[in-house]
Amino acid sequence: MARRKKTRFEESARLNNRAYMYYMTRFSELALSVFKWENLPDTVDERFLELTLYTDGQAVFFRDEVLGELCLQCAVNGPFDVYRIPIRRRAYAVNGYQKNLTNKDSVIIWNNKLHTNTEPDMRVFARRLWDLDRSIEVNARAQKTPVMLQGPEEQRLTLINLYKEYDGNSPVICGDKNLNLEGFKSINTQAPFVGLDLYQLKTQIWNEALTYLGISNLTIQKKERVNTDEVTRSMGGTLASRNARLEARKKAAEEINKMFDLDISVHFKEDLDTDEAPEEPVEPEEVREDVEVYD
C-alpha cells in the first residue's frame, strides 16, 4: 500500500509543533539550570528536585530508614495548619515507591511563594515565540515567491511543475514546443516585508521569558548607548522574579537543616558562573642579554 502524502496543512502543523517543542525544551533547560544546591545528600538528585518543582510546583524531602534522605514527588492531604500548609503528605515515585509522611518527619519544598509550578507559564511564552517564528518564515518566503499563478484548469499540472522549478531556485525554466503559455498569468501579491519588526517583537518576548526566570537580559531597546543606571533599573524585575523562587527554596533548606541536622544551602547561579577556575596569567620568560640569537 502506497504511503499517503502529507497535505500542506499537516506539514505546517508538524513544523508548528516542532517550533513549539524547541522553545519548550530551551525554557525547561534554563529553568532547571539556574539554581545550585549545596551539600545535598548523595541520595538526593538535584536535577530531579528541580524538575519536580518545575512540573509539579512542590517536592517533599524526608528520610527513609533504608534508602536514606530522598526528595520525591508528593501528593498533599489535609488537614492544614493555620498557614494552610498540609499536615499530611505522601511521597511517591514512578517505580511504585510510596511513603506516608507528616509535617513532623518531612519538609515540602515549594517552587515559589504562590506554591505553583513554572511549566504552564513557559508554555505561554513558547506558544508566542513559535507563532512569531513561523510568521517570520512565511513572511520571508513571501519575499522569495510573491506571485500567484493563474491559468486554465487543464494546465494545472503544468503550472505546478513550473512553480516547483521557480521555487527550487532554477536559473532557467525550460519547456517543450508544445507548452502553451496562452492564458497563463502571474499576479504579484505585493507581500510587505515585516520580518525585522517581528524579530524585534520575538526578542522582546524572549527577554520577558528570561526576566520571568530571573535570568539577566537587556530589556531596553534604544539606539543610544545604555548607561549603568538604566541597566541597574532594568534589572529590578529580573531580581524580583528570581527572588520569588529563590526565597521559597531557601526557606525549605532552613527547615530541612533544622529537622535533619544537615547543612544544605541553595543559591542562584550568577551570570557567567562557571565551575572552572580562571587561568593564571603566564609570566613572560626572562630574556638573557648575553645570549646571541641567529636566524
What's the pLDDT tens digit per position in 41-75? 999 999 999 999 999 999 999 999 999 999 999 99
Give the angle 151-154-159 at the CA atoms, nearest 5°.
50
Percent of the chain at pLDDT exceeding 70:
69
pLDDT of residue 293: 43
CB atoms closer than 10 angstroms to residue 7: 9
The answer to whether 100 and 234 have CB atoms below 8 angstroms apart is no
Longest dimension (CA), the chain: 94
Higher pLDDT, 226 or 89: 89
Residues 73 and 59: their CA atoms lie apart, in Å, by 5
Q: Identify the band that residue 209 occupies on the pLDDT scale cut at 50, 70 and 90.
A: very high
| Residue pointed to by grid coordinates 548607548 | 225
pLDDT tens track for 85-109: 999 999 999 999 999 999 999 999 9
Q: Specify the range with the lowest mean pLDDT, choosing from 103-112, 173-182, 280-289.
A: 280-289
Taking the model in full, what pTM does it have? 0.74
| All domains of the chain in start order, with CATH | 18-117+243-268 (2.40.500.10), 147-188 (3.30.1350)
In terms of Cα–Cα distance, which of 96, 54, 92 is closest to 72? Answer: 92
Q: Is the pLDDT of residue 82 over 60?
A: yes
pLDDT band at 193 (very low <50, low <70, confident <90, very high): confident
243, containing H or E segment: helix 236-260
Instruction: Write the CA distances from 91 to 74, 77, 259, integer angstroms.
Output: 4, 11, 17
**Reported confidence tier of residue 139, pLDDT bands at 50, 70, 90:** confident
Contact 295, 289 (CB under 8 A): no
d(CA 34, CA 56): 17
Q: Tell which wins on pLDDT, 46 or 4.
A: 46
Q: Give the mean model confidence (pLDDT) for residues 33-42.
A: 96
Q: What is the distance between the alpha carbons of residues 90 and 101, in angstroms, rounded to a whole number?
A: 6
Q: By three-state DSSP, how is residue 274 classified?
A: coil
> What is the structure's pLDDT at 232?
56
- d(CA 180, CA 186) in angstroms, rounded, equals 15
Mean pLDDT across 240-263: 95
Tell me the C-alpha distance between 153 and 162, whole Å: 15
The predicted structure's pLDDT at residue 224 = 56
Q: Judge whether residue 177 has pLDDT over 90.
A: no
- CA of 66: how far to CAs of 69, 70, 211, in Å? 9, 11, 42
Between CA 127 and CA 117 the distance in angstroms is 17
